[in-house]
Structure 1
């Protein structure tokens, strides 16, 4: 298996993995434990990805080698996760609680993978929750109070939840007018909620609403869709650090 194939190909997930974590880190007091936790976070994602692909392909693929290609990356990433994660848990035992809270979401994602329904809307929305919750974990690791991070956490949920809907309206549901209406309606609600959290978020979420309403059906390349999301994710990060 080529090394490049060890990296999960769900490119849209990287911003969701990084932005809440970085926001929580700098809303609190950054320190060396954040570097270790971020490494564990990425290793956990890579491990989960390859495990779920292994299980999915064992059930759905007629090619026995298809599933086995994911076994070595899973074992490698999982081993590295254990080697880094155990010492971190030893010095920050409360992280075990965060791990326990994340496990049900992992279980749901794994169930969808087993059913070969990874692209289902519910599965995408479920994945958003623990990713955004890393903002709270990173904030707590830096000595901040969880209550202080709730507004920023909510803003991340609104943004990345809306992104799941928007991307589907651009690709898999691009001919579904009802889904487009659902996406636009949710973005309208997100704009209102985000503005209530902080007026500084209004500009970002207004832009998100415009792209959700105007870009579907215009035949944009997937790469272009991704680049737009990278830019908006960067604006989200800046907005969170200024607003909260």
Structure 2
């Protein structure tokens, strides 16, 4: 029992390959689209600390409050306080986002308590929290929030949830036709949206590439088991493609 309560080295780090990429890219896009400023960079650092608190707190809730996960959570919370409290004091306007993120945090912890954090709704909570940071960070940029900011937020939400569906078709829900169909339909709809929304070549290229990988990966997984690390790296590259194409579309 004692060994189970002892904090281990890997308890301090996120064990989901590619998670950092998916969490930070929308916020980084907001930093670029909104116009780089020190305030936006400050908020970007606070968001990174927020994520550290979130995943360590999620483990604490999932374990039903095991003392093993307290040191990382408390340490990261202290780091967040050092970075975030001064930002909050000097940028009180950020509290307009508090109601949304209070709800998202509550749902995230509930999904962890129930051990449903990788359910469709648990994943949706994470995707919404990360994608909305495009708008939150852009608010503190030199350009502020524009139509392009909201459009980028929508695109990150759609592409990241598409990534959730793809991962499920090759790992947890491998071989289940319903998930494969859902993933393919989602990505076909994304292609249609990018065509209808203005024929932007970057977005059309992005959606077609993402559709191609959504089709190819579950087919390949039928013949060969893919390790989570390989899947994580693949989806990290997909996220980078989406990041580059979305930026190109809204900035050019």
Normalised by the size of structure 1, how large is the TM-score?
0.91
Q: Distance in 2 between matches of 1:173 and 1:8?
A: 22
Q: How far has the Cα of 1:50 moved from its partner?
A: 1.6
Give SS of 1:215's match.
helix
Tell me which residue corresponds to 2:196: 196
Q: Distance in 2 between matches of 1:136 and 1:218?
A: 41
Tell me which residue corresponds to 2:247: 241
Compared CA separation, residues 224 and 55, structure 1 to 2 (3 A): closer
The answer to whether the Cα contact below 8 Å between 1:158 and 1:194 also exists between their aligned partners in 2 is no
Q: Distance in 2 between matches of 1:86 and 1:155?
A: 30
Tell me which residue corresponds to 1:163: 163
Q: CA RMSD in A?
A: 1.6
Stretch moving more, 234-243 or 123-132:
234-243
Aligned partner of 1:205 among 196, 204, 207: 207
Q: How far has the Cα of 1:3 moved from its partner?
A: 4.1
Q: Distance in 2 between matches of 1:214 and 1:42?
A: 32
Matches within 5 A, 1:9-158: 9-58=15-64, 67-143=66-142, 144-158=144-158
The alignment of Structure 1 onto Structure 2 pairs a total of residues equal to 237
Q: How far has the Cα of 1:48 moved from its partner?
A: 1.8
Q: Distance in 2 between matches of 1:138 and 1:80?
A: 19
Q: How far has the Cα of 1:135 moved from its partner?
A: 0.4
Q: Distance in 1 between matches of 2:223 and 2:84?
A: 45
The answer to whether the Cα contact below 8 Å between 2:11 and 2:72 also exists between their aligned partners in 1 is no
The answer to whether the Cα contact below 8 Å between 2:18 and 2:233 also exists between their aligned partners in 1 is no
Compared CA separation, residues 222 and 56, structure 1 to 2 (3 A): closer
Tell me which residue corresponds to 2:187: 187
Deviation string, structure 1 residues 3-58 (Cα, Å, up to 9, x no partner): 44301212332122111111111112212222321221111111122222112212
Give SS of 1:141's match.
coil
Q: How far has the Cα of 1:2 moved from its partner?
A: 4.0
**Displaced runs of 4 or more, over 4 A:** none
Which structure 2 segments of 5+ residues have no match? 1-6
The answer to whether the Cα contact below 8 Å between 1:155 and 1:194 also exists between their aligned partners in 2 is no
The answer to whether the Cα contact below 8 Å between 2:16 and 2:232 also exists between their aligned partners in 1 is no
